[in-house]
Amino acid sequence: MKRIGVFTSGGDAPGMNAAIRAVVRTGTAQGLEVVGIRRGYQGMIDGDFIELGPRDVANTLQRGGTVLLTARSKEFMTPEGRAKAAQNLRDAGIGGVVCIGGDGSYRGALKLVEEHHIPIVGAPGTIDNDLYGTDYTIGFDTAVNTALDAIDRIRDTAASHERVFFIEVMGRHAGFIALEVGIAGGAEVIVLPEDPTSAHACAQVIEASASKGKKSSIVVVAEGGYEGGAEALARDVKLCSGIEGRVTVLGHIQRGGSPTAIDRVLASRLGAACVDALLAGASGVAIGEVNDEIRLTPFKEAVEKRKDINRRKYELAKTLAL
């Protein structure tokens, strides 16, 4: 293998650039040529390739987003689109590819491996932390800290006005961000997709907190934790209890910004490990970090196995909210 490609796909995550940088510099150190594939799978179909050397990725470590850009591709979802992408990779002399992305990105990579035998390994780039085979995904720590900063500020207002605030964080199918930021932010209630709750149960906790002397409450809601999100939960809580709350939806702010030190180090380590895995002959696997050790997990397993929240942390959150 003399030439490898690297691309980012799906939603952007802080630390993706650190992973790209690690792939480029590790690949160069190993005597490889590295090609950047712009705009994910669509760029693969369009042949949007650029040569990348160590200087091309200078001063990217601290940048959020992805310098290689990302895009959705309906064409790649067709057999013809994937065949065109695979042929473009071969025509460019690319012998192996590093995919940095989440669940959908891994599924696309698996299709290329199975249908066209393109050697591909993946690094988990998603703020949701929902990929099996790694303790943490690239971007998760930054997203948590971004959300926490917002919640700390909202807590000041909630206390000053003696109000209840419903704060929605990202996590359509996974409550990792909500759980982590809920504990760190001292939330009275944390609403997760993994443990659905009713508006009545939420109201009971808020009322119990008030009876113990609390003048304000924070309810952290994963976007998929309640049908309709935080807006719907606040409405239903008011209908069943009369408790009026304010709603803040943090949204895409959680995806942006400079990555934390934890995300920079994780991305650097996983990006380098992807190159090592390709050179060792690996393909169709996701590279993760489990108990501080590099682990290779088949793409199929990484996307099909469910990664659960830490139940002990969840019980701790309930205890600390008293």
Q: How far apart, in whole angstroms, are the C-alpha atoms of residue 214 and residue 290?
A: 39
Active site residues: 128
Taking Cα atoms as reference points, which of 286, 168, 171 lies closest to residue 230? 168
Per DSSP, 117 falls in state -
Express each pLDDT in 72-103 by its tens digit.
899 999 999 999 999 999 999 999 999 999 99
Per-chain mean pLDDT for the chain: 96
21 is in an annotated binding site: yes
Per DSSP, 252 falls in state G
Spatial neighbors of 141 by CB under 8 A, at least 6 apart, are 259, 260, 262, 263, 266
Spatial neighbors of 17 by CB under 8 A, at least 6 apart, are 57, 60, 61, 63, 64, 65, 66, 67, 259, 267
Token pair listed for 278: 């390709």
Ordered by where they begin, the domains of the chain are 3-139+259-304 (3.40.50.450), 140-256 (3.40.50.460)
Residue ranges of the chain with per-residue pLDDT less than 50: none
Alpha-carbon torsion (211, 214, 215, 220), positive or negative: negative
171 is in an annotated binding site: yes
254 is in an annotated binding site: yes
155 is in an annotated binding site: yes
Express each pLDDT in 214-266 by its tens digit.
889 999 999 999 999 999 999 999 999 999 999 999 999 999 999 999 999 99
